[in-house]
Amino acid sequence: MKKTVWLVLAVLAVTSALLWWLRHQAAGPVPVGILAWRIPGEMTGSSVVNAGVLFPEEHPDSPVAVVAVEGQETPGQSAVSTAAAIEGGIDFFITAYPSSFAVATRHLFQGPEALAIVAASTTPEFTGKDDFIFRVVADAEQEQRAIARHIHAMPGDRLLVVQDDGNAPYTDPAFQTFSAELSALGKWHVVRRKSRISAFRPDELEPVMAGAYDMLYILAGSYQPAIGTVAQLFHHLHPRAPIVLTPWARSRTVLGTAGPALSRIVLPSPYPSRHESRVIDDYYERFQTRFGFAPYSTIIGVRQAVELFNQAFAKGHRTPEQVKEYLLTTPVHRTSLGPVAFDRFGDVKQTFHFLDDLERELQ
């Protein structure tokens, strides 16, 4: 009898150990690729990758294993490196590409082979599509309607728009939405000038800027430092005129190159000021303490994306199809930097904040 009891106990012990081992194996780390473009001399890619790294460091039991996919300089290169990462066994990605890069990789996330959460690209080409792309930032149409309404409420009636033609999948539909909304509201006369911001030439833009304008809108993103230089040139010619940027200029590098124009800049943002949000300010402080430099605002979306993957994996969802269903069927996802609620296509809506005390924001 005693031998039987001991045998049963031994079998139970072995079975329990086996089940524990199986559960442990099933709950092992899941690789998540971080996709960011590379700008020579800039820290954009480092901000994105480090934002991904910081979460597992702060949560060592997390099932998320961040893998930095080599940053690329052209959209074509980004598609090749992303495809290679998928072929290498990575099923999940966080992308911080500008729209031109993101569009080049879109075909890789149409089926259940891989799923991406987008933290930067706002191109409307992703909106309303049933694919394996989710986005934690509002699309350009929401963004531009909010900017148009804000400009409409400001004094003046002559607006110069300098549009970056180096990222057309973002700026072309953005301008169409912006100009249609502003025209419907009335009052403003818009003059549009296309220019490649990354190759900014004062001798080309200064004659245009010298006209009679009440405001400048620089329709450019990707955290290009030259945005600040363009703002400074306009400020020199129109020292009292406001200058509106896009949300994708919220970086110390861009704002630092604006010089005296900083006092006239209005910065739209899907995230509140650091001085209005304790959790965002704390996140920026932790990031800067850990990595030694001021990050770009994209790190907010990247952090939310990592937390979404962490929550899905922790609940046992380990395939792109399972994660897609989880993200779509949970009405509101809670993250440390605010809630995320996807519609049935994986898109979100956001409230925009208009920051106009940027000297304080940079402190």
- The answer to whether the beta carbons of residues 4 and 12 sit under 8 Å apart is no
Query: What per-residue string of b and e applies to 321-339 under the rule 16 or more CB within 10 Å gives b?
Result: ebbbebbeebeebebebbe
| H or E element at residue 215 | strand 215-219
First to last CA, the chain: 76
Please provide residue 102's backbone torsions phi and psi, each rounded to the nearest 5 degrees.
Answer: -60, -40
Q: How far apart, in whole angstroms, are the C-alpha atoms of residue 230 and residue 322?
A: 46
Counting every residue written for the chain, the total comes to 363
The CA-atom distances, in angstroms, between 295 and each of 153, 328, 349, 362 are: 31, 30, 24, 11
- The answer to whether the beta carbons of residues 305 and 136 sit under 8 Å apart is yes
State whether residue 158 is helix, strand or coil.
strand
Q: How far apart, in whole angstroms, are the C-alpha atoms of residue 219 and residue 340?
A: 26
Q: Single out the residue of 262, 299, 265 nearest to residue 279, CA to CA.
A: 299
Q: How far apart, in whole angstroms, are the C-alpha atoms of residue 191 and residue 232?
A: 19
Q: Single out the residue of 263, 199, 267 nearest to residue 230, CA to CA.
A: 199
pTM summary value = 0.87
A 10 A CB-CB count for 285 gives: 11
- For residue 91 the two structure tokens come to 């099923």
Q: Where are the domains of the chain?
A: 29-138+277-340, 141-269
| H or E element at residue 85 | helix 75-87
Please provide residue 72's backbone torsions phi and psi, each rounded to the nearest 5 degrees.
Answer: -125, 165
Query: Strands, E, within 63-174: which ranges?
Result: 64-68, 92-95, 115-118, 133-135, 158-164
Q: Do domains 29-138+277-340 and 141-269 have the same CATH topology?
A: yes
Q: What's the CATH class of domain 29-138+277-340?
A: alpha beta
At the fourth CATH level, which superfamily is domain 141-269?
A: Response regulator (3.40.50.2300)
pLDDT in tens, the chain (363 residues): 444 434 333 333 433 343 333 334 456 899 999 998 765 444 456 788 899 999 999 999 999 999 988 767 788 888 999 999 999 999 999 999 889 889 999 999 999 999 999 999 999 999 999 999 999 999 999 999 999 999 999 999 999 999 999 999 999 999 999 999 999 999 999 999 999 998 989 999 999 999 999 999 999 998 899 999 999 999 999 999 999 999 999 888 889 899 999 999 999 999 999 989 999 999 999 999 999 988 888 999 999 999 999 999 999 999 999 999 999 999 999 999 999 999 999 999 999 999 999 888 876
**What's the pLDDT at 288?**
93
